[in-house]
Amino acid sequence: MITSNLDPNVKKYLPWILATAFFMQMLDSTVLNTALPSIALDFKESLLNMQNAIISYVLTLALFMPVSGFLADKFGTRKIFIWSLILFSIGSLFCALSQDLNQLVISRVIQGLGGALMTPVGKLALIKAFDKSELLKAMNYATIPALIGPVLGPLVGGYLVDYLSWHWIFIINLPIGLLGIFLGLKFMPNYFSKVTHFDFKGFSIFAGAALLLSVSLELMGQTKSLSFILMLFLLGFLLLYYYYTYAKKTADVIFPLKLFLVRTFRVGIFGNLACRLGISSIPLLIPFMIQIAYGESAVISGWIVAPMALTAMFGKSAVISVLNYFGYRNTLMYNTFIIGVLITCLAIPGINTNIYWFIPLLASLGFFNSIHFTAMNTIAIADLRNDQTSSGNSLLSVNQQIAIGFGIAIGLAVLRFYQNLAPVHIHDAFRNTFLTIGILTVFSGFVFRRLHFRDGDNLKTKD
């Protein structure tokens, strides 16, 4: 990592460049969540089948993010970042032109190819450009503008769907992509690293495991063949074990096992996975519930969900002070418990309760989620050496996307389970789902007990 000769303008604008990537991805996902009921109606598809449009994107991210570190090291962070923005923009255009669910899924895969490189390569450039003592502030600075995406997403999606058409939710990515390309060409540093080869075998094994595990979870609740789902699950875990044995005796693997000797990285990885299993489905389930159970419009669901992202911006502003005062261990443990309790509270309002009672609950959830994600992501890279940042950053990004995909699949599978319990009303099915995933989230906080009280002290700042 060389920062002494870095142009001050690069340090000034690099967080904004990364924010552009975050903004596009977060805007795209939150807009889509609001618009899915309308797209399902247009395509004449079951709403629960529309999860394929989300999971195909998330799965593509998980499968191809392992390549991001290698490509950035070999061809440079600037070139790969620019091409990722181009791919994401092309995929967005194809999504807008889709005529059925299959075409939309294929277009989302193209989007995912761009997204798989866009965010991790931008984060890698940021990690290499800033010293450890500056990294938390820089990362936080980068994600504050990006949080505008989730604020605008539900509102923009609601109004576009209700007053224009769902196609516009993808078209709005194009001007943002052009802005990112312009900023990237002008200010993105072009970091290279010495690479000897790409571990194609290790990549294939790991990608195969991620694919099998994700597909098995996606099929959960869609098929009555439980044995087939368990077989896919078992094959996925066998491939993970095969990767473990392969990595133990092979040099220069795509994800070295020595990364897991770093305790903070190990806890950050498993904590991300455990917590996101419960948290990830909330941004999707809430718009579904508002539009299906309560029969409200996309605009109303957008106004109810938007405060969740708005308070997340305040969470980003407060996270440095919170971590400096409480430390990473206490913050992550107790914050997970608070988030789990808030999710279970989403089950309290009945079908005759004013729908706007969800606003303070979601606003509180957005605040604590924001603190949680920043803390988890920064503690994972706190103690990595410079030669471990590329592979560690890629594995962290892959882990996050796999966890998001698993969380969405589990949330929808639980919803299907309760929905199929006759004579359960659809609103009660949502309430039972929130109770289940809330309890799951509460218990996931025990992962962070493995942290020490002084972990993350090297990331603390006086600002």
Give me the residues paired with residue 223 across strands.
Answer: 220
The pLDDT value given to residue 321: 80
Q: Which helix (H) or strand (E) holds 49?
A: none
As a whole number of angstroms, the distance between CA 426 and CA 419 comes to 6
Report phi then psi at 220, rounded to 5. Answer: -60, 125
The pLDDT value given to residue 435: 92
Query: How big is the CA angle at 250 (ends 245 and 252), to the nearest 5 degrees?
Result: 130
Instruction: List % helix, strand, coil for the chain (3-state, nearest 5).
Output: 80, 0, 20
Q: Are 153 and 309 in contact (CB under 8 A)?
A: yes
For residue 365, the Cα-to-chain-centroid distance in whole angstroms is 16
Instruction: Tell which residue, 121, 26, 23, 34, has the closest CA to residue 72.
Output: 121
The pLDDT value given to residue 62: 74
Any long-range contacts for 35-41 (C-beta under 8 Å, 24+ apart)? 35/157, 35/160, 35/161, 35/166, 35/169, 35/298, 36/284, 36/287, 36/288, 37/287, 37/288, 37/291, 37/292, 37/298, 38/161, 38/166, 38/298, 39/104, 39/166
Q: What is the pLDDT along the chain (463 residues), one digit of tens a residue?
A: 444 455 666 667 677 777 777 777 777 766 777 777 888 888 887 776 777 787 788 778 778 877 877 788 778 878 888 999 999 999 999 998 888 888 998 999 999 899 888 877 877 777 777 766 666 666 666 666 555 666 666 677 777 777 777 888 888 888 888 888 888 888 777 777 766 577 888 888 888 888 888 777 767 655 556 787 788 889 988 998 998 898 888 877 878 888 887 788 888 888 888 888 888 888 878 888 888 888 887 778 778 877 887 787 777 778 778 887 887 888 888 889 999 999 999 888 877 777 888 888 888 988 888 888 888 878 877 767 766 666 777 778 778 777 877 787 788 888 888 887 767 678 888 888 999 999 988 888 888 888 777 766 656 554 4
The pLDDT value given to residue 94: 93
How many Cα atoms sit within 13 Å of 1 on the Cβ side?
18
Q: What is the pTM of this model?
A: 0.73
The pLDDT value given to residue 7: 64
- Angstrom CA distances, 158 to 64, 392, 430, stand at 31, 38, 21
- Angstrom CA distances, 305 to 34, 37, 49, 236, 325, stand at 9, 15, 22, 35, 30
